[in-house]
Amino acid sequence: MRTIAVIGLDLAGVPENPSGFALLSDGQIETCLLYSDAEIIEQCMQIRPKVVAIDAPLSFPKQGGLRSADRQLIERGLRVFPPIFAGMKKLTARGMRLARKLRSRGLEVIEIHPRTSGIVLFGSSERTKWILKLRRQGWRLKFGKSEHEIDAAVAALTGMFWVKKKVEEVGDKREGTIFIPRGLLKTCV
């Protein structure tokens, strides 16, 4: 019997490019690459996780180029791209559409930022260090070497922090929020 299941998704801007998909459950993280919204929705509905944590903006700014959440992360010295930035417009629109479809099917969906989560959880923005620290802490990892899969795994970890109410919500509800972990990884497992 599975305990809590959480999905992390590193969403691509267009379905022709791979999206990283991660399932975190029972001390294990399994990943794969998916493409279409239909594939992603089907996997989410089969698993019915506690939360789907998506690495993509799930809203546009109400005015200007940045949302409050983006500004707050930038003020902390973290690098985020504005949702209206050239390549980000498609990603934001797709993220909003996918989140709406998942929510309409009864799933909880949150926005995360894996690089920020990686810095908080592992003290580094380097993906190789994330993997090394996960393995050292005893996580069973089943995934390829794609950066999309690694980001999806960190998205799933952030989702687990959300489930355990160990997150900070950055931004405002009117414009959209980003969830980031509070504490080190070992405080959540």
Q: Where are the domains of the chain?
A: 6-187
- Under CATH, which number does the domain 6-187 receive? 3.30.420.10
What burial class does residue 28 get, using C-beta atoms within 10 Å of its C-beta: 0-12 exposed, 13-18 middle, 19+ buried? exposed
Q: What is the pLDDT of residues 170-186, one digit of tens each?
A: 999 999 999 999 976 55
Whether the pLDDT of residue 188 is over 70: the answer is no
Global pTM reads 0.93
Q: What proportion of the chain, given as a percentage, has pLDDT over 90?
A: 78
Contact present, 65 and 80 (Cβ < 8 Å): no
What pLDDT is attached to residue 185? 59
Q: Which residues contact 174 (CB under 8 A, 6 or more apart)?
A: 62
Q: C-alpha distances in angstroms, 105 versus 42, 58, 83?
A: 11, 17, 25
pLDDT over 80 (residue 17): yes
Would you call 44 helix, strand, or coil by DSSP? helix
| Contact by Cβ (8 Å): 156, 51 | no
Tell me the three state secondary structure of residue 98.
helix
What CA dihedral angle connects 59, 121, 129 and 24, to 10 degrees? -70
- Write the CA distances from 32 to 80, 81, 174, 180, integer angstroms: 25, 25, 33, 23
The pLDDT value given to residue 140: 84
pLDDT at 187 over 50: no
The answer, yes or no, to whether residue 1 has pLDDT greater than 50, is no
**Mean pLDDT of the 31-57 span:** 97
